[in-house]
Amino acid sequence: MSFTVQQFQANVRELARQYQFELEVVFPVIIGSSNLINMLIFSSTQPGRKIDPTGDLAFMGMEYKLASNITYPQWTGNFRIDDNYDLLKSWRAWQELVHGTATNISAFPAQYKSNINLYRLDNGGNRIIQITLNGAWPTNLTVTGLDTKTREPIQADVTIQYDNNTLTVL
């Protein structure tokens, strides 16, 4: 069976790119004029989902694999910090709401949990997939790249714990 180059090109679709994604966060605390912030992530992975096996079930001489609990591993994103440190202040204020440093008081989960939307973008910058981290809150905030030998922007790693995630094709 033969084919032409035109037939091959007609069947090739555009590929998703690793560098096209955006994060939308509704912070439970307001820093500046709004608690809704859209930001570009410098690097990350797509949030995961894992179904644990229960073990083998033996039945009539055969072993069957069965599904058990669904777990959602923590998600970490790397962000570039603006010169006013607004993004870093927002993440830190959220962490202080979760558990205050000076007060040693923790907020109720309904006060500090929020939803975070991660969008995959097409080549035109349009949102094509939405991944929502439900019941999210920052567990770890680490500023990287304090070095006098470079002119690179300051970056921060933020690790997010969440209850579950949903994937929606837009």
Instruction: Using the Cα atoms of residue 119, residue 145, residue 87 and residue 166 in order, give the sign of their dihedral.
Output: positive
Q: What is the pLDDT of residue 140?
A: 95
Q: What is the pLDDT of residues 38-90, one digit of tens each?
A: 776 777 888 888 988 887 788 888 888 888 899 999 999 888 888 888 888 88
Would you list the domain boundaries of the chain?
Answer: 16-169
- By the 8 A CB rule, do 92 and 143 touch? no
As a whole number of Å, the end-to-end CA separation of the chain is: 37
Question: Please, what is the average pLDDT of the chain?
Answer: 84
Please answer whether residues 68 and 50 qualify as being in contact, where contact means their C-beta atoms are separated by less than 8 angstroms: no
Domain 16-169 has what CATH class?
A: mainly beta
Contacts of 148 (CB under 8 A, 6+ apart): none
Can you give the pTM of this predicted structure? 0.79
Q: What is the pLDDT of residue 33?
A: 62
**Tokens standing for residue 28:** 């439970």
User: pLDDT at residue 10 above 70?
Assistant: no
